[in-house]
Amino acid sequence: QQQVKQSPQSLIVQKGGISIINCAYENTAFDYFPWYQQFPGKGPALLIAIRPDVSEKKEGRFTISFNKSAKQFSLHIMDSQPGDSATYFCAASKESGGYNKLIFGAGTRLAVHP
Amino acid sequence: DVKVTQSSRYLVKRTGEKVFLECVQDMDHENMFWYRQDPGLGLRLIYFSYDVKMKEKGDIPEGYSVSREKKERFSLILESASTNQTSMYLCASSFTSGAPYEQYFGPGTRLTVT
């Protein structure tokens, strides 16, 4: 059962454009929604995260938009650069017993063309 | 800087072999995780550990076991490797409390079972 659905599977954007990746979740108990960025040959690294009590979080060119009623959240990359080319994973988590398990989406491979 | 290291970047094993994947973290993290990453499936949790000698099954534990004898080290064991275990294996670690949920990943081990 896929609890976090991510789309699109791949995305091509021109340099300077906006990249948008969408995720939807099922479990309303999730209370933390991070995005991880993975470059080829590297492990994923935390990019930005949001809690459901806010509708938007911005860090530089990266913004998470969160729609609690629709159970959806998305990553927007403004002014996309070739260096942003990577695989992006959304995730959802609920703290349980002092530890957190992340449920990951399937990933989106982003290519930013110069 | 947090560092999670994995014993091998690439590994080729034969069907039926016993395989050990080692992971070491240097941040005194309580939690450690093993994931496998497959195209189109994202990251799926195999096992995690929240303390020395403690372990919990993740979403896909079948065919795997783990060992955590020291806080900094978490091993994934494939008792009898099969071709469907060919995958990228990622280790991660995190604190139990404080700044929540950020998991730090190693670079991964690409395992091929022939």
Q: pLDDT digits over A9-39, tens only?
A: 999 999 999 999 999 999 888 888 999 999 9
pLDDT, averaged across chain B: 93
A93-97, A104-108, B14-18, B57-61: least confidently modelled range: A93-97
Q: Give pLDDT, residue B95.
A: 82
Q: Give pLDDT, residue A97.
A: 59
Structure tokens at B65: 């076991």
Pick from B33, B16, B100, B108: which is nearest to A44 by CA? B108
Q: Does A51 lie at the interface with B, CB-CB under 8 angstroms?
A: no
Q: Does A49 lie at the interface with B, CB-CB under 8 angstroms?
A: yes
Backbone angles phi, psi at A84, to 5 degrees: -85, -10
Q: What is the pLDDT of residues A30-83, one digit of tens each?
A: 888 999 999 999 999 999 999 888 999 999 999 999 999 999 999 999 999 999
Gap between the Cα atoms of B27 and B109, Å rounded: 20
Provide, as residue numbers in chain B, all residues whose Cβ is less than 8 Å from the Cβ of A106. Answer: 40-42
**Three-class secondary structure assignment of chain B:** CCCEEECCCEEEECCCCCEEEEEEECCCCCEEEEEEEECCCEEEEEEEEEECCEEEECCCCCCEEEEEEECCEEEEEECCCCHHHCEEEEEEEECCCCCCCCCEECCCEEEEEC
Q: Does B107 lie at the interface with A, CB-CB under 8 angstroms?
A: yes
Q: Which residues of chain B have pLDDT under 50?
A: none
Calculate how close chain A gets to B56, using CA atoms only, in Å.
11
Provide, as residue numbers in chain B, all residues whose Cβ is less than 8 Å from the Cβ of A97. Answer: 50
Structure tokens at A33: 């929604």
Given B40, B96, B108, which is nearest A9 (Cβ)?
B40
Given A49, A99, A106, which is nearest B40 (Cβ)?
A106
Q: Does A54 lie at the interface with B, CB-CB under 8 angstroms?
A: no
Structure tokens at A8: 């699109």
Are B32 and B49 in contact by the 8 Å Cβ rule? The answer is yes
Cβ B108–A102 below 8 Å, yes or no? no
